[in-house]
Amino acid sequence: MPTTPVVVTMWLDPPLQTDFQVGDVVTWHAAFVDRQTRAPVTPDVINFVYSSPPGLANQPVTTPAITVDATGVCHYDLALSTVGKWILTTAPQGNPGLVSIGNQSMVLYVFETGQ
């Protein structure tokens, strides 16, 4: 598998948590750095895709819905509206054109209130 030119790091607020209650809102964060120079870079296209439990298709989000906080750093507020397993994926694209330049995924679980 070829090495991608960008290292992607993603995390959530609240941190160190993967279990949530339906109705919670989490903030997804992503950072991008050049693999060789370690300098922050902002991809040409920032794709954040989340899939939630049964019956809901993948939901892609890109800029301007994603807030770019600084070079190579962005965030998006995500409302957890459905009970079940959610898969969050960051998949930036860059020069030349829409070439995949790295990605990262995480899983979180949403439960009914009071569980």
- Structure-block tokens of residue 69: 């906080």
Sign for the CA dihedral angle at 77, 54, 61, 1 comes to positive
pLDDT tens-digit profile of 55-105? Answer: 677 888 988 899 999 999 999 999 998 899 999 999 888 865 567 788 889
pLDDT tens-digit profile of 8-50? Answer: 899 999 888 889 999 999 999 999 998 889 999 988 889 999 8
Higher confidence at residue 59 or residue 110?
A: 110
Partnered with residue 34 across adjacent β-strands are 6
CATH topology assigned to domain 6-111: Immunoglobulin-like (2.60.40)
Q: What is the longest distance spanned by two Cα atoms in the chain?
A: 49
Delimit the domains of the chain by residue range.
Answer: 6-111
pLDDT at 1 over 50: no
- Within 8 A by CB and 6+ apart from 48, the residues are 28, 30, 60, 61, 62, 66, 76, 88, 89, 90, 91
